[in-house]
Amino acid sequence: MIRTFYGTDTLNSPAAFFIALTIGFFFGLTLERAGFGSSRRLAGIFYFKDMAVLKVMFTALLTAMIGLSFCIGLGVIDPSTEIYFMKTYYGAYIIAGLIFGVGFVMSGWCPGTATVGMASGKLDAVVFLAGSVLGSIFFNELFSIVKPLVTWGQSTQQNMGQEGLAFVYNSLGMSKSAFGFLFTLIAVVCFWGSEYIEQQHSDEIGKTGYFNTPFLRAFSLILMVSAGGLFVLDGSVNAEKHKAVSSSYGLHMSEKALLRDVASAVDHVEPEELADYLSNQDPAVIAVDVRPAKEFNAFHIRGAFNAELPDLPQFVQHHTDKRMIVLYSNGMTHPAQARDSLARMGFRNVYLLTNGLGGFIERCLKPVSLRKEPMPENSIRQINLWRAYFYSFDNARPSVIGSNPSADSAKFSDMPPFLPGFVDADWLAVLMEKPGLKMIDFRDQPEYNTNHISGSYAMSIENFRGVLDGVPSMLMPANVIAARLSLMGIEPVFRFSQKRR
């Protein structure tokens, strides 16, 4: 595996400075040889006479994109540890691009080419560089004022364990390979268009160009074939391939990155975040229930998929285009183990739900009236919206399995299509006077004595716990609990059935 100065945290080392100086020297030499030491030639693109800038920039972008994609796909480079990704600020990029474009049009220079021009003895390049230095100083001194603009339009996506990092293919809802192929196709069209434009001005610029020449046709074919090869590497790195091409040192660094993610909790998704993603029907986010199918069919979060632990690699492989795959179970142990295993395989878009299914219900679906502390109005409104969305799961009605189904069904025909174990206050207010409905208040006795719903029974939760096999405070067997509830006339007559859409 290729190690980088960023990955080894040695960017400030003498070796890094020497390599940077060497690369910079040859980069400047290449620009000079390409004729970019002349502002007239650089500005030629704005007059549609000399398209060298467009061709050079597109060539550099394609070389970096295709080359890096192959290196990542073959396991030669681990992007999570060896590459630094800047956060994405859409608004700031637009403003910065406009400022840069205006400066380029006015001066005919960009910072890199201006340095080459200065080395070539161009006075206007010196003036431009001086202005760039002064602008940098002013920006630094006024940063506290312009900071809101610098961070304007931050992306809400999360990639590589970094919040606010967006990739254009995710934003467009495309796979990496499809975007790479499309971008290459656009570049090839621009190459041909640039050569055609230059051919129309061949007398003015003193060259004939490469339009429709064997070189341009071969160059275009090589680019398209290379971009087509990205489809072979679509999605995340295959686990066996990664093992074959990675050295033990590289795998060690993957473990180090994994531990860093665990320590910083970037592998977690909070229940409120998931509720927002799912209720807003974000197509780039999916929830995966890793419990057995029987438990999933009994109850699951609306919109979730079911994939048991042994099937997760295949499932995730088919959803590598998703920005976020959130695993959940009753707790966090199995999702955490599964997430770590998938991360070792190279899947970087898998997360786990904080506090599991129980935490999701407690924090997002628990009625506001049952919470211990008052909540702000906006939180109350949000919780009610979540409840309305997730409670309308599948319009299921309870199927009655008592001794007298017709009578029981008539008594409870208005049962709401809620999650198992949940009803709302309006439903309760309508049906609380009907025979057969029992209400149990599990609060402490002093609270019950102070205020309770009329007709409700007081019962301590301790009545359902006891010593089992020498272990205290264990939940009593179902038959024992049923027997105790039957003393109040409560019989196990309902069974909820959930059908997944």
pLDDT at 233 > cutoff 80: no
Q: What is the pLDDT of residue 161?
A: 55
Instruction: Give the model's confidence band at 421: pLDDT under 50 very low, under 70 low, under 90 confident, else very high.
Output: low
Whether pLDDT at 496 is above 60: no
User: What's the mean pLDDT in 304-316?
Assistant: 89
Instruction: Answer yes or no: pTM beyond 0.75.
Output: no
Distance set, CA 440 to CA 340, 358, 448, 453 (Å): 42, 21, 10, 9
Q: Give all domains of the chain, ordered by start, each with its CATH number.
A: 14-233 (no CATH), 246-364 (3.40.250.10), 399-495 (no CATH)
Q: Residue 204: is its pLDDT beyond 80?
A: no
- Percent of the chain scoring above 90 in pLDDT: 20
CA distance 90 to 150: 10
Contact 124/115 with Cβ under 8 angstroms? no
**pLDDT band, residue 254 (cuts 50/70/90):** low
Q: Which two tokens stand for residue 299?
A: 């109850």
430: confidence class by pLDDT, cuts 50, 70, 90: confident
Query: What percentage of the chain carries pLDDT values higher than 70?
Result: 83
Residue 83 or residue 427, greater confidence? 83
Burial class (CB in 10 A: 0-12, 13-18, 19+), 305: middle
- Give residues with Cβ within 8 angstroms of 424, minimum separation 6: 367, 387, 391, 416, 418
SS3 397: coil
Residue 239: its pLDDT value, please? 39
413 pLDDT tier (thresholds 50, 70, 90): very low
The pLDDT score that the predictor gives to residue 353 is 93
The predicted structure's pLDDT at residue 185: 95
List, as one string, the DSSP characters of 56-94.
Answer: HHHHHHHHHHHHHHHHHHTTSS-HHHH---PPPBHHHHH
Q: Mean pLDDT score of the chain, rounded to an integer?
A: 80
Residue 91 has pLDDT above 70, yes or no: yes
Model confidence at 303: pLDDT above 60: yes
Q: For residues 33-38, give the mean pLDDT.
A: 83
Whether residue 283 is predicted with pLDDT greater than 80 in this model: the reply is: yes
pLDDT, residue 1, reads 67
What is the β-pairing status of strands 268-269 and 457-458? Answer: unpaired
Residue 20 makes CB contacts below 8 A (sequence gap 6+) with: none
pLDDT for res 184: 95
Buried/exposed code over 271-282 (b: 16+ C-beta within 10 A; e: otherwise)? bbbbbbbbbeeb
Q: Residue 136 above 60 pLDDT?
A: yes
Q: What span, in angstroms and rounded, lies between the C-alpha atoms of 394 and 300?
A: 11
- Spatial separation of the C-alpha atoms in residues 384 and 364, rounded to whole Å: 9
Do the Cβ atoms of 362 and 336 come closer than 8 Å?
Answer: no
Burial level of 237, CB count in 10 A (0-12/13-18/19+)? buried
Question: What mean pLDDT do residues 435-440 have?
Answer: 78
Highest mean pLDDT among 33-37, 142-146, 287-291, 417-421: 287-291
**pLDDT score for 21:** 93
Identify the bridge partners of residue 352 per DSSP, sorted by sequence position.
268, 327
- What single string gives the DSSP state of each residue in 27-43? HHHHHHHTTTT-HHHHH
Whether residue 387 has pLDDT greater than 70: yes
What is the separation, in whole angstroms, between the first and last Cα of the chain? Answer: 44
Burial class (CB in 10 A: 0-12, 13-18, 19+), 359: middle
| Nearest one of 86, 90, 95, 88 to 139, comparing CA atoms | 95
Residues 436-453 have a mean pLDDT of 82
Q: How far apart are CA 302 and CA 285, in angstroms?
A: 13
pLDDT digits (tens, 9 = 90+) for 342-383: 888 878 889 999 999 989 998 998 888 778 788 888 888 899
Tell me the one-letter amino acid at 7.
Answer: G
When pLDDT is cut at 50, 70 and 90, the band that residue 186 belongs to is very high
pLDDT exceeds cutoff 80 at 18: yes
Mean pLDDT of 254-280: 79
- Mean pLDDT within 233-250: 43
**Higher per-residue confidence, 254 vs 253:** 254
Q: What pLDDT, on a 0 to 100 scale, did the predictor assign at position 408?
A: 38
Burial class (CB in 10 A: 0-12, 13-18, 19+), 234: middle
Determine the 3-state secondary structure of 161 from DSSP.
Answer: coil
More confident: 186 or 378: 186
Identify the sign of the CA torsion 458, 460, 465, 467: negative
Asked if 356 contacts 332 with a C-beta cutoff of 8 angstroms, the reply is yes
Least confident of 117-131, 172-186, 395-409: 395-409
Collect all residues with Cβ–Cβ distance below 8 Å to 453 and sequence separation of at least 6: 432, 439, 441
pLDDT at 222: 95
